[in-house]
Amino acid sequence: MKTKTRTVPIQLGDRSYPILIGRNLLNDASLWRQAGEGSVAAIVSNTTIAPLYASALEASIRALFTHVIRIELPDGEQHKNFSSLNQIFDSLLSAQADRGSVLFALGGGVIGDMTGFAASTYMRGVQFVQVPTTLLAQVDSSVGGKTAVNHPLGKNMIGTFYQPQLVVADLDTLNTLPQREVSAGLAEVVKYGPIMDSKFLDWLEVNMDALLARDTEALAYAVQRSIELKAQVVSSDERESGVRAILNFGHTFGHAIESGLGYGVWLHGEAVGCGMVMALHLSHRLGLVSEDYVRRVTSLIARAGLPTKGPDLPPERYLELMRLDKKSERGQLRFVVVEENAQASVRGAPDELVADVVAKCCE
C-alpha cells in the first residue's frame, strides 16, 4: 500500500517552507526539485546514516547541482561541537562552495542542528534542506528553526534561529532506527497531548502499540499532528520570546538529567520523557492536575518505552544544573506546567518544592 505524501506548510512569512511526510521520498527525484539548485550541494551526514541513505539522496539531487559533496561527521551527541562544525566549514571551503550552495542535513537532530548552524553562518547564510532520519528529528527539529552546537559548559549554548527551505521526512528511514530511538522520538510526540491537544492524547493511548511497531499510517499521523501543533506555536513566536516556551514541557528537568549524567548517556527523548513525569508531579503539587492524571500520562510515557524514574543524583545537583540552563532567567528557574484540559503555562516554583518533586521521582 502506498501511503499518500502529506504536506504540512510552515507559515513564517518570507521564511515559510513545506514539510513533506511520506514513504520512499528519498528516491523520488521529482520531489527534490523543490530543494533548489546551484553549484555545490553538500550532503552532511554521519558515519551511521550516510552508508544507508546518502547514495539514494545523492542520486535524486545529482542533476540539480554542478558538484555534490558528502561530509561525514562522527555519530553521536558528544560530537555536536565546534570540531564537527569546523569539519563542515573546511569541506565547504575546500570544495569552493559559494553562496549559492545548498546544505542537506541527512540524519537525526544532531546532524540537523549542526548543519543548520553551519548553513546559517557559512558566508553569512546559505540554503539548507533537512532530511530527518529519526522520529525525534522528524517531529521536533524539522519545525522551529533552532540550530546549535554544544559547549563544554552547556548544551545547545551556541546557535541561531534559521529556517530550512524544505524538510523531507521519509518514514521509510525509520525502519533502520534502533527501538530505543523510536521510544525517544515518541517522547516529543506524547508531549503534545498534555500541553495542547487532549484528543491527541486519547489517540496516542489507542495507537501506542501501533507506533512502537512502526505502523506507517500511525507514524504518518503522529508525525503530521506533532508538526502541526508545533507549527501553530512556532508561527506565533519564532524566536522563543513567549508562548513557544510551552514546547519545553519536561525539558528543564530533562536537560538537568542529560548534563548531570553527561551528554549521550541518556538519549534526549529519554531525559524528556522522565522530565515530563517530573513536570507532571510538579503540576500536581501546584494544584493543577489530579494524581490520576499524573498516573495516566506517566503510564503512557512508560508504554512508549521511556524511563519514568530519574537518575539518582542529589536534588540539589538537579537544581544547580537547571540554573545553568539557558532558559533560566537571571538564575530563576522556570517550569512548564499543565492543566488537565491541555493548557500549558510557564511559571517559577520554590526550590524546596522542586527538590521534593525530584526526590520523589528518583526513588
Quote the DSSP letter at residue 37. -
Contacts of 23 (CB under 8 A, 6+ apart): 2, 3, 5, 170, 171, 172, 216
The yes-or-no answer on residue 124 being catalytic is yes
The yes-or-no answer on residue 80 being catalytic is no
- Quick one: 214 or 327, whose CB is closer to a second copy? 327
- Quick one: 7 or 83, whose CB is closer to a second copy? 83
For every residue of 273-291, DSSP letters joined together read: HHHHHHHHHHHHHTTSS-H
The yes-or-no answer on residue 67 being catalytic is no
For every residue of 208-260, DSSP letters joined together read: HHHHHTT-HHHHHHHHHHHHHHHHHHHHT-TTSSSGGGGGGTTHHHHHHHHHH
The yes-or-no answer on residue 248 being catalytic is yes
- Quick one: 312 or 329, whose CB is closer to a second copy? 329
Cβ atoms < 10 Å from Cβ of 191: 32
Q: How far is the CB of 263 from a second copy (least distance, A)?
A: 15
Q: Which of 251, 281, 284, 296 is flagged as catalytic?
A: 251
- Quick one: 136 or 148, whose CB is closer to a second copy? 148
- Quick one: 89 or 293, whose CB is closer to a second copy? 89
The yes-or-no answer on residue 258 being catalytic is no
Contacts of 172 (CB under 8 A, 6+ apart): 23, 24, 25, 26
The yes-or-no answer on residue 284 being catalytic is no
Q: How far is 184 from 271, CA to CA, in rounded Å?
A: 9
Burial class (CB in 10 A: 0-12, 13-18, 19+), 234: buried
The yes-or-no answer on residue 155 being catalytic is no
- Quick one: 45 or 91, whose CB is closer to a second copy? 91
Q: Which of 188, 228, 258, 270 is flagged as catalytic?
A: 188
The yes-or-no answer on residue 251 being catalytic is yes
Q: How far is the CB of 307 from a second copy (least distance, A)?
A: 28
179-190 vs 291-303: helix axis angle to the nearest 10?
A: 150
Edge-to-edge order in the sheet of strand 38-46:
6-10, 17-22, 166-170, 127-132, 102-107, 38-46, 65-73
Q: Which of 80, 150, 248, 270 is flagged as catalytic?
A: 248
Q: How far is the CB of 183 from a second copy (least distance, A)?
A: 28
- Pairing outcome for strands 6-10 and 17-22: antiparallel
Q: Which of 244, 281, 284, 296 is flagged as catalytic?
A: 244
Q: Which of 146, 191, 281, 296 is flagged as catalytic?
A: 146
The yes-or-no answer on residue 79 being catalytic is no
The yes-or-no answer on residue 15 being catalytic is no
Q: How far is the CB of 324 from a second copy (least distance, A)?
A: 7
Q: How far is 306 from 328, CA to CA, in rounded Å?
A: 26
Q: How far is the CB of 129 from a second copy (least distance, A)?
A: 19
Q: How far is the CB of 165 from a second copy (least distance, A)?
A: 15
216-235 vs 179-190: helix axis angle to the nearest 10?
A: 40
Q: Which of 155, 255, 281, 284 is flagged as catalytic?
A: 255
Cβ atoms < 10 Å from Cβ of 327: 16
Instruction: Locate 208 and state its grid cell.
Output: 501506542
Q: Which of 205, 240, 339, 340 is flagged as catalytic?
A: 240
Task: Give the interface with a second copy as residue ranges (CB under 8 A).
Answer: 39, 66, 82, 86, 89-90, 93-94, 96, 98-100, 117, 120-125, 146-148, 151, 153-154, 157-161, 239-240, 323-324, 326-331
Q: What angle do CA 100, 103, 125 make, to 5 degrees?
A: 55
- Quick one: 149 or 195, whose CB is closer to a second copy? 149
Q: How far is the CB of 214 from a second copy (least distance, A)?
A: 33
Q: Which residues are catalytic?
A: 124, 146, 188, 230, 240, 244, 248, 251, 255, 268
